[in-house]
Structure 1
């Protein structure tokens, strides 16, 4: 026992091989040969030997390393010496690391600014505080002296980046985190097609073990093609009809399902029967096996809360937990004597004759896979799964087992709205036709009823269609050939890896709510869904392959048709045949607008230079974490490869159109935005001064109230504290000083503010300025809307004419539009600025004259005080001792 190691390998889900390694002695099993480690990294023998020597480990051909000496820390040190990571040192320095260490504050800033998801709510998910960062550092910084000083070393920083805590997917997303209390039709359900097959559709072997493996993989809907057994025992069998595939016992399959149905997931399992058994006796056996072997797990009677009535929704996975639901044809009337005689009298050893639909008087029109198939290659009707026979009449024994999943032939979306417990199966070609012609109606149909999509009959090699096509339409049971691990199956495995591998994934809200309508082919933002911007920069790779070959990485996106981008990025092939630690550090690939992140996924795959697949990882966009992350690669079966990884930098945030980028920047950093506006106002102020004017500054007391500035920096109220001081000339200041020395009675500022004339004029001016600002904002919005339409129209034209319009030409045309808009907005901004300034100056002069004429004998002092409240807007001077002032009409004319 202590000297044996067993390695299990498998080419598929059934053919499992075991390889046993046995040491001659127990002591020998506890020693690791140095030569084997050198051979493992055979690309550079000298480099491996130097790394072992740096770790004080023996490296000679006949030397061995004791397992107790080869600890995890020694192993990490060995890898660091074997594969130095200069890119990590550069990142460390960019964060401010000095003398080989980062402080707590620097580490906090790094986690909050680089590693935190900006899409998260800051109240529910607040940024880390220094105390919390220190707790994180304690898990990786083993040097207690540095830890007490609040510092983290490069090695500890590297350990943090490669830890599970810094994984690209939040751990809670892998756990069961979705609400399971909605109707069954509101979930994507992991489904299998022709589950019994291990290879092709025509001559492949059938295996009971496939049902065990598929259920253990989390599948919640399996298919059983049942045919009449020809043996003397008259036992029903499962096989692919009219092909050379082998047969397996129906009873053994039911026993395997009962054994493994709820090992991985407790949620309901749907058995999709394709029943070709035209023997009353054998159908009775089928029903009896289901009842006796499944026992209480078999759902026979509908739940009291969910009767089989029109308008009643399907029960939820939570309410059906631990239950097995059967999908089979259902008879709603007692079978007549003709049907009973036809099913009973037929000998078991005769070939199965097709059941005539005209004789099905005791049965509703029900679907079967062959009903929807359009593949008629050889002139006769062939079913969608390769068989050429309709299903048999359902006996009463089998009909009583069917409740919430009753198959019916699909006629139209309008005719299918009545009963939620009716469902239809579509061959992929027919489903694609419905999706193309009636996408919105297809989505609406899937809100209340189940639909099952299965591969077309010409896929005799058991290949798969792309499931993303039908997830986009809300189809629940997208059934695939589990024996073929192609890209389609890999996407399916990724999809159901989350939510605790329960086999159920909750559909997006707009695919469930009756008041929402969704078009899978939309190119616009979905109502209630915030689009995302995603950027991926491939920095380096680690231990991608042991071969001395160049490697490269591809990045692609799957989702809605508008979001999908196949092979969006392909890095250069690594130099010097370096596959151990290649460095690319190329320009990032930017997915500027991902309309539906909840159904979009990012695939990162590594290949050898000849195109040989190394590994990949598929990640949901809605759950991806930004920052510096290691992407651990997996094989075709979604199994971890342990060492191979790709190091990337990811940026993800809410999508903002270019036209509103400045607005979002202002909201995210308002202080900087206000400072920028003030700076622009000062720069423009020099252009507004006229000959003889000089800028003066007026000090405002700390207790003066100020109104919030508008977008242009002005106050909405023309009160004393809200006005920007207007320049006065030295001559006017001298006149004011002489006036102040006279013995005329002085009117105080408070008394002037209390006059009815002043208050009335103030209200009028406020309304007038407010109306001007409103008109300006409306004009700006119209300009932005006009540009937005032009931008979309140009982008659409370029997309339609891809052959004649390259990406560079498209970018150039869009950039010209952006430059044109910027110039128009600048011109409009300047025009609005000058008009508001002029209106304010006119307001000031009007108030001055109004208060002057109203105060009578206190004219001079009133003007003086008004100058203090509202400094003159121009270079006109005020004469002392009854001197003449410029007429307001002449002054206004001069300004114009």
Structure 2
């Protein structure tokens, strides 16, 4: 269902009147007050081609419950951005509960037939969720999953360990741009919970293992979506002035097709507001006799007319269903009748009631220098943008309670014809506002733009100007910096040029880059600019308000949107993406390809890539082409990636818009959406992404890759492998070898000399005397030899001790050098973490005391964590030095004592 609504509206009543007239028995069964029991469900593929399903409840309470629950389901942002696993589960439930795949069954059958695949039948009761998963596994052979599994360390085994899965998640799937203290890596206990969720084999769980099937389910799971789910919630600070936000805006909201012919529709206001749009346009014209009811149409064209009053009723009904934040009604007023303008003002007061903001807030008077109020302070309020006539004196608050029958004062000016203001790009010209209409205008007062110098002097921030896209482009080219400065305090609205008779759109990114808040588009045309608009405003809770980047809000910062340099205070990003494979992309046997586009600043690097076309395979194509590199994205918070799939003939299949600042690195499934940003259940892509801080080419050789990672203290074995230590050991071995050879040569020389002396003894001496003298001499020589060897050994040991001390000193020196280097890196890491935390705290700063305490607490916790890491490093260094002294060189320590 697209947008279920309460059925007390005129559309429900009219449709049910026709329906009930066919069956009087049903009318009798409903009884009195049947209008409150009617439920009208609106559904369709886009905002224009919609259908109505009308049902009747037995009681008003049941009708209310059904309406609220259906609306909640239809507008659930998390459900529309669910994981691949959840979408497959939806397909299975539809098959089980209704015994029908609906349109998907036809797609399945067509696809199987085209691929010449035949599968055996299965009983309905046997077709369980597990059987459905096996069916998908057998239908789509996934070699790329096996390759990823092997990357994790399976080595062709049917499982990986918990340690390997933990390493994969923290190394491949974690965003390195995140602060490690605020967003720590997953612990084993957390990884264990993931394994228990997706691994069905209890035996492997007991051994701390996960199978290929369990790993594949994890990749499809909600923990592994391409964008963190919290980014879909309201995460922006909604307490800043209105001028600090991009506002989802519509142009000629009432049109359903082109600008010259076709139907105008009240329903378009409901549907546009339900998408999260916060600014709609009303082209008002003077009604004819006898009713003299103002109507809305595109002037001087053949488009049909719709009653002004019915449009206001539709707006009142749907204004705050999708978002609680303020709605701006942009009036293009051509009603040149005082009486009918008074009627318009009265309709606004009576239909909107307290939701209509008439009196300015006390904190934000309509005076120079005062900022605009915030979306939070204007919750539930409707603001009128209409020309204002300042010649009238302010009216009293009693005007809000004026009865419809009262007539305006005859002194208010001309009774029938009023002066006009020329307005470029519109049908005809706007007329002057009457007193009643002027009194409804406060914070959105349109004025003619007279230049940036004039507006900066006036400092009336409640005044705003509208620019046709061509005029806006001229100012953008000539004064881009001044345009950014203007948009910091005042609102600007950009609308399509009049020659876009086919209701095509311009690219909104061009004017977002200079901070224009209300970039109005033709919502009835789901072209690429509208797709980008829908994708961008899906985030921040689909509130219709996106907080602009900080430098586009701070008055002390100046920004040139055409810059190619790094913006001061902003960390540029580098994004890499590789399209791995696709699943169920088309129900035809046709080739498909993928385009990846970057939308950001003009100074960003290459913007568009395309894969090869698959060879007639749309069921499970595998690309694994070269990685697409977006080397420098100057402003990540303002940039978006669009990943789109097309058939080989160029027919659109589906796409997804992703904010660069929120893209998760690693392997992820991307569930595709249609042109209107509605999810497609089956088509998806598996991609591998890398997102990191940008490092200029000239600095990449010195890039601190250690930043954001715990510094590991070097072990004894690591120190032994250090090149200086290895060089010293080789030198000592060489000297010891030379010393041994020298000593051995000396011993041989002495032995040879003794033998020569023995054989040269005088022959005339008595034999016994000679033998005795020989023994005595031998003992003497032996003693001398022993003493000499002992001296040599002592000398050798002394030299060896000196070398050991040199080795110990060198090892300590190496350890100290490594320690000093790591300590320096640790300090640099700590400083970067403090700066990152300070940036986060600055963005989230509040004026309250409690927020200040939380900030100090966060800083204290960070410093304590850094101190603990430093103490851990120092303690480990002491242990290394102690181990060197006591275990590796105990003899040296003993000798030194």
Work out whether residues 539 and 649 of structure 1, in 8 Å CA contact, stay in contact via their aligned partners in 2: yes
After TM superposition, list the pairs within 5 Å mapping 1:249-288 onto structure 2.
249-288=307-346
- Give the Cα–Cα distance (whole angstroms) in 2 for the partners of residues 644 and 485 of structure 1: 20
Q: Is the 8 A contact 2:605 2:630 kept in 1?
A: no
Could you tell me how far 1:70 is from its partner in structure 2?
Answer: 2.6
The 8 Å contact of residues 572 and 584 in structure 1, kept in 2 or not, is answered as yes
Which of 548, 552, 569 in structure 2 is aligned with 1:528? Answer: 569
1:537-583 per-residue CA deviation (whole Å, 9 max, x = no partner) reads: 111110000101111111111100122644x22111112x1100001
Q: Could you tell me the TM-score, scaled by structure 1's length?
A: 0.69
Residues 1:14 and 2:48 aligned together: yes
Q: Counterpart of 1:768?
A: none
Aligned length: 660
3-state secondary structure, aligned to 1:415? helix
Deviation of 1:653 after TM superposition, in Å, equals 0.6
Does residue 637 of structure 2 align to residue 569 of structure 1? no
Cα distance change, pair 296–564 in 1 and its aligned pair in 2 (3 A): farther
Q: Tell me, in whole angstroms, the C-alpha distance in 1 between the residues paired with 2:720 and 2:823.
A: 14
Contact 1:485-1:637 at 8 Å conserved across structures: yes
Q: Does 1:437 align with 2:478?
A: yes
**Post-superposition offset of 1:462:** 0.7
> Equivalent of 1:228, from 265, 286, 290?
286
Structure 1 residues 181-192: aligned runs within 5 Å: 181-192=239-250
Selected match of 2:596 from 536, 546, 555: 555
Is the alpha carbon distance of 1:107 and 1:666 closer, same or farther for their aligned partners in structure 2, counting shifts above 3 Å? closer
Alignment of 1:372-521 (within 5 A): 373=424, 384-385=425-426, 387-389=427-429, 391-417=430-456, 418-521=459-562
Rounded to whole Å, the distance in 1 between the matches of 2:52 and 2:240 is: 43
Q: Shift in Å at residue 442 of structure 1? A: 0.4
Do the aligned residues in 2 keep the contact of 1:191 with 1:221 (CA within 8 Å)? yes
Which residue in the other structure is 2:675 paired with?
Answer: 636
The answer to whether residue 719 in structure 2 is matched with residue 651 in structure 1 is no
Larger deviation, residues 35-44 vs 468-477: 35-44
Shift of 1:31: 4.7
Cα deviation, residue 103, structure 1: 1.2
SS of the residue aligned with 1:604?
Answer: strand
SS in 2 for 1:42: helix
1:142 equivalent to 2:183? Answer no
Deviation by residue 1:283-323 (Cα, 9 ceiling, x = unmatched): 11001000011000000000011111111000000000000
Q: Distance in 1 between matches of 2:102 and 2:318?
A: 44
Deviation at 1:270, TM superposition (A): 0.5
Note if 1:581 corresponds to 2:633.
no
Q: Residue 662 of structure 2 aligns to a residue in which SS?
A: coil
Give the 3 Å change call, closer, same or farther, for CA 547–311 of structure 1 in structure 2.
Answer: same
Q: Does 1:92 find its partner at 2:131? A: no
User: Deviation digits for residues 473-503 of structure 1, max 9, x if unmatched?
Assistant: 0000000011111000000001100000000
Q: CA deviation at 1:278?
A: 1.0
Inter-CA distance 183–550: structure 2 relative to 1 (3 Å threshold): same
Aligned counterpart in structure 1 of residue 133 of structure 2, from 50, 71, 76: 76
Q: 1:720-759: CA deviations, max 9, x gaps?
A: xxxxxxxxxxxxxxxxxxxxxxxxxxxxxxxxxxxxxxxx
Aligned to 1:292: 350
Q: Distance in 1 between matches of 2:170 and 2:96?
A: 50
| Structure 1 segment 28-39 matched on structure 2, within 5 A | 31=99
SS in 2 for 1:618: strand
Structure 1 residues 312, 36: closer, same or farther in 2, change over 3 A?
A: closer
User: When the two structures are superposed, what TM-score results if normalisation uses the length of structure 2?
Assistant: 0.68
How far is the alpha carbon of 1:44 from its aligned partner? 4.1
Task: State the 1:42 CA deviation.
Answer: 3.2
- TM-superposed CA distance for 1:637, in Å, is 0.8
Gapped regions of structure 2 (runs ≥ 5):
1-39, 55-94, 395-408, 739-801, 825-894
Residue 40 of structure 1 is matched in structure 2 by: 108
Report deviation, 1:148.
2.0
Shift of 1:142: 1.8
**8 Å contact 2:387–2:445 — kept in the other structure?**
yes
1:210 aligns with 2:268: yes
Quick one: distance in 1 between partners of 2:556 and 2:152? 49
The 1-side partners of 2:308 and 2:373 are apart by 28
Deviation at 1:77, TM superposition (A): 1.2
Give the Cα–Cα distance (whole angstroms) in 2 for the partners of residues 600 and 39 of structure 1: 35
Counterpart secondary structure, 2:341? helix
Asked if structure 2 preserves the Cα contact closer than 8 Å seen for 1:552 and 1:609, the reply is yes
Mark the CA change 1:590 to 1:705 in structure 2 (over 3 Å): closer, same or farther: closer
| Contact 2:725/2:811, CA 8 A, preserved across alignment | no
State the partner residue of 2:795. Answer: none
Q: Which residue of 2 aligns with 1:171?
A: 229
SS of the equivalent of 2:582 reads: strand
Query: How far apart are 1:412 and its partner, in Å?
Result: 0.7
- What is the alpha-carbon distance in structure 2 between the residues aligned to residue 461 and residue 709 of structure 1? 71
Structure number with the bigger relative contact order (C-alpha 8 A, sep ≥ 6) is: 2
Distance 1:685 1:308, change over 3 A: farther
Q: What SS class does the counterpart of residue 695 from structure 2 fall into?
A: coil
After superposition, the C-alpha distances for 1:499-525 in whole angstroms (9 at most, x for unaligned) are 000000000000000111111000001
Cα RMSD, aligned residues only: 3.7
C-alpha contact (below 8 Å) 1:677/1:713 kept by paired residues:
no
Greater CA drift, 158-167 or 617-626:
158-167
Are 1:605 and 2:639 an aligned pair?
no
Q: Distance in 2 between matches of 1:493 and 1:124?
A: 31
- Which residue of 2 is the match for residue 789 of structure 1? none
Match of 1:238 in 2: 296
Would you say the 8 A contact 2:339–2:415 is kept in 1? no
> How many Å apart are 1:201 and its aligned residue?
0.8
CA distance in 1, matches of 2:720, 2:811: 24
| Distance in 1, Cα, partners of 2:605 & 2:538 | 21
Q: Distance in 1 between matches of 2:609 and 2:159?
A: 35
Q: Deviations over 1:602-635 (max 9, x none)?
A: 1111111111111111101000001001111111
SS state of the match for residue 416, structure 1?
A: helix
DSSP 3-state at the match of 2:630:
strand
Q: Over residues 686-741 of structure 1, what are the superposed CA-to-partner deviations in whole Å (9 max), with x where a residue is unaligned?
A: 9x99xx9999660447998999649999999xxxxxxxxxxxxxxxxxxxxxxxxx
CA displacement at 1:534 relative to structure 2: 0.6
The alignment partner of 2:464 has SS state of: strand
Q: 2:236, 2:821 → 1: CA distance? A: 47
